[in-house]
Amino acid sequence: MRIRSIVLASHGTAGARAAEQAAFELARREGATVAHLYVVPDFWAGMRGDDWLNNAATQEAFGDYLENELADEAQRVIQRLREEAAEAGIPLVSRAMFGDPTRCLLRICQAREPDLAILGTPRPRGVPGYRSRMKLETLVQSLSIPLMIVPHDADGSGHSD
């Protein structure tokens, strides 16, 4: 099977970085392009701190702050991947989406028609951070292309040995 196009789902965590490394290695070897998908999970929608902030103006300010932080985080990950891809000579496009991670991945795969989709395994218990999960059963049933799931590396280096 010749791989010309890869969709990489990554939000920059250690598990996602292991998937990034696998995608870039495969892209270099095959001469493939990489379409990077960054998803801001929809559980952030409407996050206004209304359970602990007591007035609308403060809630609005907190919501704006949170949206800016999420956008900045996405841009940092996208910029890092652009730099790494450019350094490796790998054609890369990035797309940030808001929504359910599984549905976003399915949408981008349908739109781009890649040869392969790559993502990392869920964060192990005890490792800090939010747990944005892909619904693997839905992906396996819905994708018409191979799905590569790269194991999370325990040391957080982005290398799975």
DSSP state of 151: P
Domain range list for the chain: 26-150
**Amino acid, single-letter form, for residue 41:** P
For residue 38, the SS3 value is: strand
Determine the CATH number of domain 26-150: 3.40.50.620
| C-alpha span between 102 and 63 (Å, rounded) | 25
Integer-rounded Cα radius of gyration of the chain: 17
Q: What pLDDT is recorded for position 31?
A: 96
pTM for the whole structure? 0.81
Q: 92 or 47: which carries more pLDDT confidence?
A: 92
**Low-confidence winner among 24-28, 37-41, 96-100, 127-131 (lowest mean pLDDT):** 127-131
pLDDT exceeds cutoff 50 at 157:
no
pLDDT tens, residue by residue, 86-118: 999 999 999 999 889 999 999 999 999 999 999
Q: What pLDDT is recorded for position 160?
A: 41
| C-alpha span between 18 and 63 (Å, rounded) | 32
